[in-house]
Amino acid sequence: MGQHVVITGASSGIGAALARELGQRGYSVGLLARRADKLAELAESMRSAGAEVATASADVCDRDGLLVGIRQLEQTLGPCTVLVANAGIGGRLDPTDWDPEPNRKVFEVNYFGALNAVEVVIGGMLERGAGQLVVISSVAATRGLPPAGPYSASKAAISTMWEALRVQLAPKGIHCLTVHPGFVKTPLTAGNDFEMPFLVPAETAAGWIADAMANKRRELTFPWQMALVRWFMKRVPEWLFDRVIGRRG
Ligand SMILES: NC(=O)c1ccc[n+]([C@@H]2O[C@H](COP(=O)([O-])OP(=O)(O)OC[C@H]3O[C@@H](n4cnc5c(N)ncnc54)[C@H](OP(=O)(O)O)[C@@H]3O)[C@@H](O)[C@H]2O)c1
């Protein structure tokens, strides 16, 4: 059976680039996001490059809508054999001007949204005793990075959850991969008003993610400079972390 990958958040950035990459590598690609027009545009250009593609417009926070969307993709492309839970949003918090809403929303999309998608495909994967679950987390999952505390927390939560799933699902034939990207040039980072070290194009990121999927890696951090940063970030004591990150503001 050919591979049918469902990618959430496929209408732009990393998701769209990964869709193109996997389409070129022979996967059937199910594109899912809220903006139907963007998905249709991408699907058309992928089809003209020879890929098999279907689209579904859904919000990952809406469990019923997501179920309908993924089933729609499966009707066209066959059972989902690979899920890439990529849909995500940024989230900042200013503790001097507390607003609970962005905090809640970022968890709804980045954490629950990813798990809502797993919920739809896990039954079929368990039945077949095969499948792959990929989550696009972030280097920001490593420590609490102000002012993006809510974003860091949501990514730490999903990375931790994926790790537990990885251990539980391996004996069932389901492989889990957690991706921790550094800075990638996408609409999400376009508004950042600070210098982004080791920024990589979305197409480069997509190639690395596709390789990690093919090689059944458990974890991928990129680029290598960010893997090094993540290694140190995990290990520095709190006082040093506060001093370095505090100075960056
Ligand atoms: N860019 C980076 O530097 C970077 C670094 C680390 C991690 N990441 C992670 O990579 C992933 C992709 O980000 P990106 O940089 O490619 O950003 P992006 O270009 O803004 O793409 C985000 C995607 O998520 C979709 N999305 C957002 N909310 C959704 C919802 N409620 N339901 C369904 N789809 C939703 C958007 O589509 P619609 O608006 O059409 O729904 C869009 O396709 C995110 O999880 C992000 O946290 C990015």
3-state secondary structure of 55: strand
Closest ligand 1 atom to 139 CA: 6
pLDDT digits (tens, 9 = 90+) for 68-86: 999 999 999 999 999 999 9
Question: Nearest 5°: CA angle at 213, between 210 and 216?
Answer: 150
Cα(6) to ligand 1 centroid in Å equals 15
Q: How far does the centroid of ligand 1 lie from the alpha carbon of residue 16, in Å? A: 10
Distance (Å) from CA 90 to ligand 1 centroid = 8
- Tens-place pLDDT, residues 52-63: 999 999 999 999
Indicate the pTM of the whole model: 0.98
CATH 3.40.50.720 fits 4-248, yes or no: yes
What lies within 8 Å, CB to CB, of 116 at 6+ separation is 60, 61, 63, 66
Report CA(86)–ligand 1 centroid distance (Å).
6
pLDDT tens-place string over residues 7-26: 999 999 999 999 999 999 99
111 is catalytic: no
Q: Whose CA is nearest to atom 30 of ligand 1?
A: 59
Q: How confident is the model at residue 238 (pLDDT cuts 50, 70, 90)?
A: very high
Rounded Cα–Cα distance for residues 243 and 179 (Å)? 28
The pLDDT value given to residue 248? 66
Assign 140 a pLDDT band (cuts: 50, 70, 90): very high
Of 29, 39, 57, 86, which is best to mutate to test ligand 1, by the most ligand atoms within 8 angstroms of its C-beta? Answer: 86
Report the C-alpha gap between 57 and 114 in whole angstroms.
16
Based on DSSP, count helices (H) and strands (E) in the chain, helices before strands: 10, 9
* Rounded average pLDDT over 157-168: 98
Is 116:59 a contact under the CB 8 Å cutoff?
no
Q: What is the pLDDT averaged over residues 119-126?
A: 98
From 151, 162, 183, 222, active-site residue: 151
Which band of pLDDT confidence, cut at 50, 70 and 90, is reported for residue 192? confident
Q: Which atom of ligand 1 is nearest to the CA of 14?
A: 16
